[in-house]
Structure 1
Amino acid sequence: MKNKLYLLKNKLGIDGAIAFTSLSRIIQAAGGVVSIVLVASLLDGVEQGFYYTFASILAIQVFFELGLNGIIIQYVAHEVSHLNLVGNNYEGNIVNLSRVASLLHFTVKWFSALAIFVFFLLLGVGFVFFNYFYKSEVVVDWHLPWVFLSVGTTLNFLISPIIAFIEGLGKVKEIAKIRLIQQFVSLLLLWTGLAIGLKLYVGGISSIIGVFVLVFFIFKKYSIVLRNIYNQKITEKVSYKTEIFPLQWKIALSWIGGYFIFQLFNPVLFATDGPIVAGQMGMTLSLLNAVLALSFAWVSTKIPIFSGYIAQRDFLKLDKLFNKTFKQSSMVNFVAMTGMFLVIFFIRYFDVTLANKKLGSKFLAYLPLLFMMISFYMNHIIGAWAVYLRCHKKEPMLVHSLAYGALSCASTVILGNYFGVIGITSGYCFISSTFAIWAYFIFNTKKKQWHLDEK
């Protein structure tokens, strides 16, 4: 039995980083279901409205990161590939040591300054929004909970680049393990807080304590290494203006294009097919995003290794590892999608209920569900190719991403207006499949061009 499990583990390419990252995704998905049940049971209708609207407004903070954390991982991995870790010190080429130190200095200064702006922006937007739009006479204690949430979100924003830096050092498995602990603690705090009647306070409190758990484990394990890097004499810097920004703005635009695609589905469906279908889309998207995050762990955990091979010009090892990882992640995605479809089928077939409500009615009908599954599978493939190319510290997918986003938005609005959910999902499926072909052309062309130029 052990031998069979070992062979399956090797075939799927499950290493420590993937195992902990995947387990974290599974816990997050399962915990989300429990959280939904508790929120529905323990908060009244008005409080539920505040609870979920809080999350929507807090999402604006991601626009201040705009791909920079991913770039930090890649740049650190490129420089560290020329260094050796001896005890708690990195040794090797003085230029690479200096550039790594400059990246840490930049990370600390940039995000520290930006975090102050993020905090006051979140605080201000929340107070203006809720004071202006909440007109009911029902009294809701939301002011202090919003302050707590703003603090927790800002702390998460502040610590995230340090985590990215450590991942760039090759500590992906270790960070995944710490995140798993944080995820578990945050969920327990959230559930306990709801159970004892903390209501809207639970989000902010669990977020803040979760950050402190993260900080405790990270600095307990890596404080000396980070301090030694930070104190390294800087003779040569990684320039934000000439090296990071030319890549970041392209990735940022690509990311924004993708972000607005998914934000349009629900409001358009709400207007065309009503809130029930919009809710079905939201629930379906939650599951599909969980599957995508799970399968993409195979690719994302390899970013430091891909970047290291590229820095060393070892393209044979790079392509061998990527091809293997790509096949494994695609297989996991396909199997998970199939499993998701079968689970929904059996839930409907056996008429499973949750809190006296039919669970099968919470998802899209079979045909639009199938369209969305195909689209997300195509997105997985496109995303994997994009990661490979971006590890070269270049962004050739900019035009592709912007065109993909623009056409998807137009398709969602126009087809949704005339044909509702079938129009939205079929149009998106056609566009994603077509753009996967374009993405392969870019991937194949640029890979050959760059590797030939660098030999």
Structure 2
Amino acid sequence: MYFRIKRLSARIGIDGAIAFTIATRVIQALGGVISIIFITKFLTGVEQGYYYTFASIIAVQIFFELGLCGIITQYVAHECAYLNWDDDYVISGDKYNLSRLSSLLHFCVKWFGIISIILFFVLIVTGLKFFSFYGKESASINWQLPWISLCLTTSLNLFIDPILAFFEGLGFVKDIAKLRLVQKCAFLSLVFIFYILDFKLYSAALASLFSILVNLLQILLSKRIKILKLIWKSGDQWKVDYIKEIFPYQWKIAISWISGYFIFQLFNPVLFATAGAIAAGQMGMTLAALNGVLSVSISWITTKIPLFSSLVAKKDYTQLDEKFNLILKQACVMCAICLAIFILFVLITKGYNFPVANRFLPLLPLALMSISTFVSQLIFGLAVYLRCHKQEPLVIQSVVTGILTTISTLVFGKVFGVNGLTIGYTSIMIFVSLTWCVYIFNKKKQEWHQS
């Protein structure tokens, strides 16, 4: 039986890194389902609206992270293509690449240390102003302290995530996947306990804080801290020049990520402001489930970013294309299966009039958002392939998609409600974003691999 499972796993592309990442995402998805039950039981419909709108506003951290975590993984992987691990703690190879690797770590720690502090204060001010203005009809909701707590945990997480991205670039994808799995289990266990103890909107913030401490302990009390110290002291003769090397690439990634906020995160604040907290809560819960599906399926791709980057550095384009094509197919199949299961789940809950059914969007907008999720899976895969070349040719496409989505959300969302909002969004994703992305992918792939 074990060997059959092992053969099946190999056939569909599940290695150790993917297995742990999928386990994390599956637990996250199952936790999301259980969270839906807990939110339904322990939060009112209005509090649910606050809960998911919190998440949408917290996502403005995109404006501070600006895609740099993914860039760090790629740049570290490019340097590590010429380095070797002699054992668990010793890295050897070209001194030039080792010095540049150390430079990347110094930059990572200093940059995100400053940015995370700035993010904390920006989030507090933004949230207090937004909810004070648009939440007047629900003044009895205790949201101020939960919001401040969530701002703190978000800022701490912004500082830790780049360190984990650095480790992934070193090739410790499986190791970091284990770490994230432990963190996610700790978070979900704690958030359910806090719900039961009637902490309401405090639950997610407190659970996040404790799970971040779990992450820190996993780094400080293991070989990981020794690896960081070794690289930190590995010389500074050759440095990565942020202005000349990273910034010309990052600003394009940053614009794409900022556009992503308007593409994926604007729905809840707009619905909160125009249709009320309950409608925002329905959209938020639906998106939480769909994002859970997407997080599982993209595991096939995200765990292979260091491999793709290394193959690009070596200009082994034949092997790169073979592996990418297979992995993209596997990811898309998994995404389609998970979406079908989710839609079936909602249909059953609505058919039997379970209370949780009313917390999701109606069937038409739900189906449209599911289609958009599958399209997002395709676009994500193609974007990763292109970005592993240290290039970002999707910046204009992302900006145009973001602008069109913003206009569609504001106009159709206000005039036609959630149906108009989702019809407009899905149309843009299929006929503009995906079509344009496929064209750029084919053009740049041919151009780069022939040069």
TM-score w.r.t. length of structure 1: 0.89
The answer to whether the 8 A contact 2:105-2:166 is kept is yes
Measure how far apart 1:263 and its partner are. 3.1
Measure how far apart 1:301 and its partner are. 0.7
- Is 2:372 the partner of 1:378? no
Query: 1:78-118 CA distances to partner (integer Å, 9 max, x unpaired)?
Result: 00011001121211111111110100010111111222222
Deviates more, 1:265-274 or 1:51-60: 265-274
For 2:359, which of 359, 362, 369 is the aligned residue? 362
Query: 1:146-202 CA distances to partner (integer Å, 9 max, x unpaired)?
Result: 554333222211111111100110111111111111111122222223333445544
Tell me the equivalent position of 2:28.
28
- CA–CA distance in structure 1, aligned partners of residues 133 and 269 of structure 2: 21
Q: Secondary structure at the match of 1:121?
A: helix
- CA–CA distance in structure 1, aligned partners of residues 189 and 119 of structure 2: 27
The answer to whether the 8 A contact 2:56-2:265 is kept is no
Distance 1:399 1:141, change over 3 A: closer
- CA–CA distance in structure 2, aligned partners of residues 276 and 85 of structure 1: 53
Q: What are the within-5 Å matches in structure 2 for residues 404-415 of structure 1?
A: 404-415=401-412
- CA–CA distance in structure 1, aligned partners of residues 164 and 409 of structure 2: 36
- Is 2:188 the partner of 1:187? yes
Query: 1:372-408 CA distances to partner (integer Å, 9 max, x unpaired)?
Result: 2222212111111110000111100111111122222
The answer to whether the 8 A contact 1:408-1:428 is kept is yes
Measure how far apart 1:271 and its partner are. 7.2
- Is 2:437 the partner of 1:436? no
Tell me the equivalent position of 2:338.
336
Tell me the equivalent position of 1:324.
326
The answer to whether the 8 A contact 2:59-2:261 is kept is no
Query: 1:273-330 CA distances to partner (integer Å, 9 max, x unpaired)?
Result: 7766554433322222111111011001100110011111111111111111111101
Tell me the equivalent position of 1:292.
294
Query: 1:20-41 CA distances to partner (integer Å, 9 max, x unpaired)?
Result: 1122122222223333443454
Deviates more, 1:62-71 or 1:284-293: 284-293
Measure how far apart 1:222 and its partner are. 0.8
2:230 partner amino acid: N
The answer to whether the 8 A contact 1:148-1:204 is kept is yes
Q: Secondary structure at the match of 1:91?
A: strand
Q: Secondary structure at the match of 2:234?
A: coil
Tell me the equivalent position of 1:83.
83
Measure how far apart 1:15 and its partner are. 1.2
Q: Secondary structure at the match of 1:84?
A: strand
Deviates more, 1:68-77 or 1:10-19: 10-19
Tell me the equivalent position of 2:239.
237
- CA–CA distance in structure 2, aligned partners of residues 115 and 256 of structure 1: 17
Q: What are the within-5 Å matches in structure 2 for residues 5-404 of structure 1?
A: 5-42=5-42, 54-87=54-87, 88-126=89-127, 145-219=146-220, 220-266=222-268, 268=270, 278-349=280-351, 351-353=352-354, 357=355, 359-404=356-401
- CA–CA distance in structure 2, aligned partners of residues 150 and 266 of structure 1: 18
Distance 1:118 1:274, change over 3 A: closer
Distance 1:123 1:178, change over 3 A: same
Larger RCO: Structure 1 or Structure 2 (Cα < 8 Å, ≥ 6 residues apart)?
2
Measure how far apart 1:429 and its partner are. 2.6
1:121 partner amino acid: V
- CA–CA distance in structure 2, aligned partners of residues 264 and 137 of structure 1: 21
Runs of 5+ consecutive residues of structure 2 not aligned to the other structure: none
Measure how far apart 1:5 and its partner are. 2.4
User: What's the % identity of the aligned pairs?
Assistant: 47
2:5 partner amino acid: L
The answer to whether the 8 A contact 1:89-1:229 is kept is no
The answer to whether the 8 A contact 2:70-2:165 is kept is yes
Measure how far apart 1:413 and its partner are. 3.5
- CA–CA distance in structure 2, aligned partners of residues 407 and 327 of structure 1: 29
Distance 1:412 1:205, change over 3 A: closer
1:157 partner amino acid: L
Distance 1:337 1:205, change over 3 A: closer
Distance 1:315 1:148, change over 3 A: same
2:151 partner amino acid: S
- CA–CA distance in structure 2, aligned partners of residues 382 and 447 of structure 1: 15
- CA–CA distance in structure 2, aligned partners of residues 142 and 422 of structure 1: 29
- CA–CA distance in structure 2, aligned partners of residues 139 and 268 of structure 1: 21
The answer to whether the 8 A contact 1:368-1:422 is kept is yes
- CA–CA distance in structure 2, aligned partners of residues 341 and 423 of structure 1: 20
Tell me the equivalent position of 1:424.
421
Q: Secondary structure at the match of 2:298?
A: helix
Q: Secondary structure at the match of 2:85?
A: strand
Deviates more, 1:269-278 or 1:236-245: 269-278
Tell me the equivalent position of 2:443.
445
Deviates more, 1:219-228 or 1:391-400: 219-228
Measure how far apart 1:247 and its partner are. 1.2
TM-score w.r.t. length of structure 2: 0.90
- CA–CA distance in structure 1, aligned partners of residues 256 and 392 of structure 2: 9
Distance 1:323 1:407, change over 3 A: same
Q: Secondary structure at the match of 2:423?
A: helix
- CA–CA distance in structure 2, aligned partners of residues 393 and 227 of structure 1: 27
Query: 1:31-90 CA distances to partner (integer Å, 9 max, x unpaired)?
Result: 233334434544578876765555444333332101000000000000001100112121
The answer to whether the 8 A contact 2:76-2:104 is kept is yes
Backbone CA RMSD of aligned residues: 2.8
1:63 partner amino acid: F
Q: Secondary structure at the match of 2:91?
A: strand
Runs of 5+ consecutive residues of structure 1 not aligned to the other structure: none
- CA–CA distance in structure 1, aligned partners of residues 82 and 362 of structure 2: 53
Distance 1:50 1:445, change over 3 A: closer
Q: Secondary structure at the match of 2:406?
A: helix
Query: 1:356-381 CA distances to partner (integer Å, 9 max, x unpaired)?
Result: x2x33433344433332222212111
The answer to whether the 8 A contact 2:286-2:366 is kept is yes
